Structure 1
Amino acid sequence: MTIINSVATWLMKKRIHQIELFMKYPNEVQDEWFNQLINNAQDTEWGRKHHYRSINTLADFKQHVPLQNYDTLKPYIERMLKGEQNVLWPSEIRWFAKSSGTTSDRSKFIPVSEEALEECHFKGGKDMLTIYCNNRPDALLFTGKSLTLGGSHQIGQLNTDISFGDLSAVIMKNLPLWAEFYRTPDLTIALLENFEEKIEKMAHATKNVNVTCISGVPTWNLLLFKRLLEITGKNNLLEIWPNLELYFHGAVNFTPYREQFKKLIPKDDMYYLETYNASEGFFGIQDREEPGDMLLMLDYGIFYEFLPLERLNDENPETLTLDEVELDKNYALIISTNAGLWRYMIGDTVKFTSLNPYRIQITGRTRHYINAFGEEVIIDNAERALAEACRQTEAVIRDYTAAPIYFTDSKCGGHEWIIEFERKPDEFERFIDLLDETLRKVNSDYDAKRFKDMALRRPQVHAVPENTFVKWMKLRGKLGGQHKVPRLANNREYVDSILSMINQKDLTVC
């Protein structure tokens, strides 16, 4: 295995030269991909409709193709789900990544082409290893196995030709043989739909395996780790996997989890590497050991545009290319991809921490949201759930905000709501249950994480006194005008601030 490790790390490092090329010539690489994408799609239905044969410049592209989102592409995707081909992309689309819903859909289905798998997702996976091996020349990663804990969605069939699933499941189902050899557990366990059963079987299947690398969303990984310690009686993961050296993480902010991971993996040189991978594409990899930003990957079959956040609501907003962006400004991410997403606004916002090379940080979403555990609760979800809870309990809400409750050693995460009622519900506990139940109905990711309280527990709701939000906004210097109460936040800044104000004034909170 040591010889194999040496050969594998040598092969991985050969890719570094190509990465250095796009770091040195970013605009040229992006121009090449722009032309290739346009040329490949010119005879698709979308390409004919938007006159791709007459597109010679980016200005032409912007003129012919307006900005898109899932709702605008949904009619095309629905036809593709039924098996129609050459709609958005010329090659056959047989796979769709099932992701969290938009404002109108409980779930969305993102097309995954063969090119997207090979040139984007698989390439990103290999580059994660490449960058790590380049940063750690003494790495022994390939002397053991990589444990990947994916999502809870099993592969499903819409018809005999079309399959869908969580992106991690789609990737695992299509992995090349060499990659499958180095991962654990086998697919019969990794692709289990029942997440509780999967955690149990993964813990038993991997407790005696030489695991050197872990990847996955921190929320899920913590559940697996705690179960492993329970069944083995060990104190930490190094007593189970003494050669563990690397953890790939993404999807949610790692900061709230960092201390818990340090306790579970008490190793000074444990390497944590952040990635930016979504159903729509693979975008960034942390290329330096110090956390904080990620290298924007420019040769994955994706052409990038960036919309300044202050222009988000303009009627015809003007996007920027890489050579036009500035440091420390928030941009909505716009992508055109080798799976047929055209000028697609994925909903994430980023800022650049470096322009040579281009490195980014994820700063949030284009809308208020809570995504501390991968649940992606947006305002539309919250409004619908609150409306239903109010309807059934005859309550009237004046103002509200909500934030995550982070994991502790003894409790799973949750959401904490602060609500000021005009008229309180006739049954307060029933109101909370209805809020929770409706959120589960309208948001599939929230529902998955609420399953048996494994990742999210029942919401905690505070009913606060009259004028609480007015007093809080006044304290912040944001009373009146166009200032609004922030409805959802992915951190506890607002919730803790309000609770602190209430406690200082000795007001009643229930």
Structure 2
Amino acid sequence: MKKRIHDIDLFRKYPHEVQLELFQNLISTAKNTEWGRKYGYEDNLSVREFQERVPISTYEDLYPYIERVMKGEQNLLWPTKIEWFAKSSGTTNARSKYIPVSPESLEDCHYKGGKDMLSIYVNLYPETKLFTGKGLSIGGSHHPSELNAKVNCGDVSAVIMQNLPIWAEAIRTPPLKIALMDKWEEKIEKMVEVTVKENVTSMSGVPTWTYVLLKRILEVTGKSNILEIWPNLELFTHGAVAFGPYRQLFRDIIPSDQMNYLEVYNASEGFFGIQDQAGTEDEMLLMLDYGVYYEFIPMDQFEEENPKTLTLDQVELGKNYAIVISTNAGLWRYKIGDTVRFTSLSPYRIKISGRTKHFINAFGEEVIVENAEEAITNACDATGAIISNFTACPVYLESDKRGGHEWLIEFEKEPNDLKRFTQVLDEKLREVNSDYDAKRQNDIALQGPLVHAAPKGTFLNWLSHKGKLGGQNKVPRLSNTRDYLEEIMQVNGL
């Protein structure tokens, strides 16, 4: 672990050299693939030539290649044999994405990220007792592809778990046969049964589903908090959704100042960031030697037909960028759909600011997920509320009324004053987003937010209805249409 910290320090110190070397390795390795031959990778491309020749890709652009690989063809996007695909649930849309997972991306990206997470944690907390117990991980499931029984597809966490070495399986819980079950309700009950008997010192997973499991454990055992069951619990590694709105939920259920929280940025496409400082909250070191070459599109140019991408040495602090990646699994100049903001350029640290498709901009207000989560957290703090989930969308202008935003929020603990909660939510949004503030001036374009308190279980019912319980599935925080909110309300009879 100490040796790996030395390697991390190297890319902190020489980020551009590390990225350039990685880029050259990617191009060299893929030069004889069908994609590499199409775009002349054998010419030993420079970054500029690469950007000129190779188009920016969406999933739909790459899907004809991905489908052929799923059917059994090889050496199309990447030279090594690909038999695993991560089923992406970055959104709750009906269409699933199947992201190729090569042996290199599994070993040098996903596994490396997990090992680095431990290395960084031990470096931050050298007195840790983490390894005296087991790590609890909450994952999804996998299954053979409908296109080819020799190929397996599933949640990225399931792909990782299934391929873990034996020694890693020995220090985690629950056993694979339970961790990879596909029936979520049955899986939760089995996980409770098994894990309460273990000495769990760490947990990893999506905050939403981890909290559901912990609540069920307390219900079954009759205990008042998790430390009565796992007194040596000291770490929760979380990702997929912002932790801010969930922080108080976990403090209440794990009442200890010794409990540590570490954010990671991992997705079906790769492992990208790890919180490397104590107490920084959602600010992560961009991991530069994982077989991922980064480019960035300024969000004010995102909708352009051929937007100019920036390399790492060209980004600026505080601006929103859409991430474009080229990877050791054959994703080339691929838009993953996330937006980030740099908080430091030496070393490069980022905050996830939202999704390229998850925002509200019906009236020019340009509200992004980061704005919404900051405002929700503030409103909770001001009114003693704790939320479990939320979504928001526009209220469109009509001839007899102004437009606005409608919020559906499921509270674990109701605010002491919903009107005050709504007021603080609005005030914070105005503070952090000047476009929203301008549209709210004197209610000219936007009236104040409309907030509904949803009954408990509302969002779980909807996810269950969609067949998306567990794994990395999550509720879209913001939408520029009313589709999600109206469907959630309809499913729940609200």
Q: TM-score, normalised to structure 2's length? A: 0.76
- Report the Cα offset of residue 177 of structure 1: 1.5
1:329 is the counterpart of 2:319:
yes
**What secondary structure does 2:88 align onto?**
strand
The aligned amino acid for 2:35 is: W
In structure 1, what residue type is equivalent to 2:324?
A: I
Q: Does 1:339 align with 2:329?
A: yes
Deviates more, 1:284-293 or 1:298-307: 284-293
1:402-421 to structure 2, matched below 5 A, reads: 402-409=406-413
CA contact (8 A) 1:305 1:334 kept: yes
Q: Within 2, Cα distance between the matches of 1:230 and 1:245?
A: 22
Corresponding residue for residue 305 of structure 1: 295
Does 1:155 find its partner at 2:143?
yes
Matched, 1:366 2:370: no
Q: SS of 2:342's equivalent?
A: strand
Q: Structure 1's 155 and 38: CA in aligned 2 closer, same or farther, altered over 3 A? A: same
Check the 8 A contact 1:402/1:487 in 2, yes or no: no
Counterpart contact for 1:368–1:489, Cα < 8 Å = no
Greater RCO, 1 or 2 (C-alpha within 8 Å, sep 6+): 2
Contact 1:69 1:345 in 2 (8 A): yes
Superposed CA offset, 1:171-219 (max 9, x none) = 0000111211110010110001000001100001011100000000011
Q: Specify the code of the residue in structure 1 equivalent to 2:78.
A: W
Structure-2 residue corresponding to 1:261 = 250
Residues 92 and 358 from structure 1, CA distance in 2 versus in 1: closer, same or farther, beyond 3 angstroms? Answer: same
Q: State the distance in 2 between where 1:193 and 1:486 align.
A: 32
| Alignment partner of 1:50 is 2:39 | yes
Q: Distance in 1 between matches of 2:330 and 2:55?
A: 14
SS of 1:231's equivalent? helix
Residue 355, structure 1, aligned to residue 348, structure 2: no
Letter in 1 for 2:23: F
Q: Do the aligned partners of residues 104 and 16 (structure 1) sit closer, same or farther apart at CA in structure 2, a change above 3 Å counting?
A: closer
Distance (whole Å) between structure 2 residues aligned to residue 103 and residue 264 of structure 1 = 28
1:95 alignment partner in structure 2: 84
Please state how far the C-alpha of 1:250 moved relative to its aligned partner. Answer: 0.5
Q: Tell me, which stretches of 5 or more residues in structure 1 are unaligned?
A: 1-11, 387-396, 417-431, 457-484, 492-509
- Give the Å deviation of 1:489: 12
Q: Is the CA contact (8 Å cut-off) linking 1:401 and 1:487 kept in structure 2?
A: no
For residues 195 and 16 of structure 1, what CA distance do their matches in structure 2 show? 37
| Matched residue type, 1:167 | V
Give the whole-Å Cα distance in 2 for the aligned partners of 1:109 and 1:403: 31
Q: Secondary structure at the match of 1:354?
A: strand
Aligned residues: 411
Alignment check: 8 A CA contact 1:34 1:303 kept: yes
Q: State the shift of 1:56 in Å.
A: 2.4
Counterpart residue number, 1:248: 237
Question: Structure 2: how far apart are the matches of 1:489 and 1:265?
Answer: 36
Provide the residue aligned with 1:179 in structure 2: 168
Q: 1:45 to 1:376 in 2, by over 3 A?
A: farther
Distance 1:186 1:122, change over 3 A: same
The alpha carbon displacement at 1:330 in A equals 0.4
- Paired with 2:90 and 2:351, the residues of 1 have a C-alpha distance of 24
The 1:111/1:369 distance shift into structure 2, 3 A limit, reads farther
Q: Which whole-Å CA distance do the structure 2 matches of 1:366 and 1:95 have between them? A: 27
SS in 2 for 1:78: helix
Counterpart mapping for 1:73-222 below 5 A = 73-100=62-89, 106-151=95-140, 153-158=141-146, 159-222=148-211
Paired letter, 2:466: D
Which residue in the other structure is 1:447 paired with?
466
Residues 392 and 406 of structure 2 are in contact (CA less than 8 Å); yes or no, is this contact kept in structure 1? no
Could you tell me whether the CA contact under 8 Å between 2:323 and 2:338 is conserved in 1? yes
- Change beyond 3 A, Cα 1:489–1:324: farther
User: Which of 205, 210, 222 does residue 233 from structure 1 map onto?
Assistant: 222
Amino acid at match of 1:256: P
Provide the rounded CA distance (Å) in 1 between the counterparts of 2:465 and 2:348: 33
Residue 376 to residue 305, structure 1, CA distance change in 2 (3 Å): farther
Q: Structure 1-normalised TM-score? A: 0.74
Partners of 1:102 and 1:221 in 2: CA distance: 19
**Aligned mates of 1:489, 1:24 — CA distance in 2:** 46
CA spacing shift, 1:448–1:375, aligned 2, 3 Å: farther
SS of 1:408's partner is strand
C-alpha contact 1:42 1:52 (8 A) present in aligned 2: yes
Name the % identity: 56
Local SS of the residue matching 1:155:
strand
Structure 1: which amino acid aligns with 2:142? Q
| Partner deviation per Cα, 1:100-141 (whole Å, 9 max, x = no partner) | 377986111000000000000000000010000000010011
SS in 2 for 1:288: coil
Structure possessing the higher radius of gyration over alpha carbons = 1
Are the aligned partners of 2:238 and 2:264 in contact in 1 as well (CA < 8 Å)? yes
CA distance in structure 2 between the aligned counterparts of 1:63 and 1:378, rounded to whole angstroms = 39
Partners of 1:455 and 1:58 in 2: CA distance: 35
CA distance in 2, matches of 1:257, 1:75: 39
C-alpha change, 1:99 and 1:175, in structure 2 (3 Å) is same
- Change in CA separation of 1:296 and 1:94 when aligned onto 2, cut-off 3 Å: same
Kindly indicate whether the alpha-carbon contact (under 8 Å) linking 1:148 and 1:215 is maintained by their aligned counterparts in 2.
yes
1:320 is matched with 310
* SS at 1:331 equivalent: strand
CA contact (8 A) 2:390 2:409 kept: no
Change (3 A) 1:361 1:162: same
State how 1:386-397 maps to structure 2 within 5 Å. Answer: none
Q: In the TM superposition, what is the alpha-carbon distance from 1:488 to its structure 2 partner?
A: 7.1
Letter in 2 for 1:36: N
The one-letter amino acid paired with 1:355 is L
Give the SS at the match of 1:248.
strand
Compared CA separation, residues 160 and 398, structure 1 to 2 (3 A): farther
CA RMSD of aligned residues (A): 3.5
Indicate the residue corresponding to 2:269 in structure 1: 280
Structure 1 residues 212 and 57: CA distance shift in structure 2, 3 A: same
Q: CA 1:324 to 1:446, structure 2 compared with 1: closer, same or farther past 3 Å? A: farther
| 1:257-293, Cα deviation, whole Å (9 max, x unpaired) | 1001001111102110000000000000000111140
Contact in 1 for aligned 2:4/2:119 (Cα 8 Å): yes
